[in-house]
Amino acid sequence: MNQRIAYIALVVKDYDEAIDFYTKKLDFILLEDTKLDEKKRWVMVAPPGAKECCLLLAKAANEKQLASVGNQTGGRVGFFLFTDDVWRDYNKMVERKINFVRIPTEFDYGTVAVFEDLYGNLWDLIQPSENNKGLKG
């Protein structure tokens, strides 16, 4: 059997403001932006070097979806961005006015900081420790 997770949908308020945040604040790459109809686009972004999975930015289409923007995981960290240098990325993101709810902290499995995206979704910024095979991806 050969399976993989290809996309993770992230409900957003506006395509363009989400693209702007992910490409200009986090340095993600815009992989695709295709207009499907007057209201819907197929928008995919991913961090540089991503090979398996990307974010599908999905504009909220109704009140129920709009209510979940920024709280897709009930206030828990729902997204995990691996890095080879957590302090480099942390400092760059702070300069770009990204809000961190926890500064980089060392754990056995790696160094982790927690930040909010433009809507308040929580992300772990993780530099896995050298001896932790479980977080190597």
Would you state the pLDDT for residue 51?
85
* Together in a domain, 24 and 88: no
Written as tens digits, the pLDDT of the chain (137 aa) is 999 999 999 999 999 999 999 999 999 999 999 999 999 999 999 999 898 899 999 999 999 999 999 999 999 999 999 999 999 999 999 999 999 999 999 999 999 999 999 999 999 999 999 876 555 55
Q: Which domain holds residue 119?
A: 71-137
Would you state the pLDDT for residue 132?
67
Separation between Cα atoms, residue 125 and residue 92, nearest integer Å: 12
* Together in a domain, 40 and 75: no
* Together in a domain, 76 and 49: no
Label residue 90 left, alpha or beta by phi (over 0 means left) and psi (-120 to 50 means alpha): alpha
Contact 121, 10 (CB under 8 A): yes
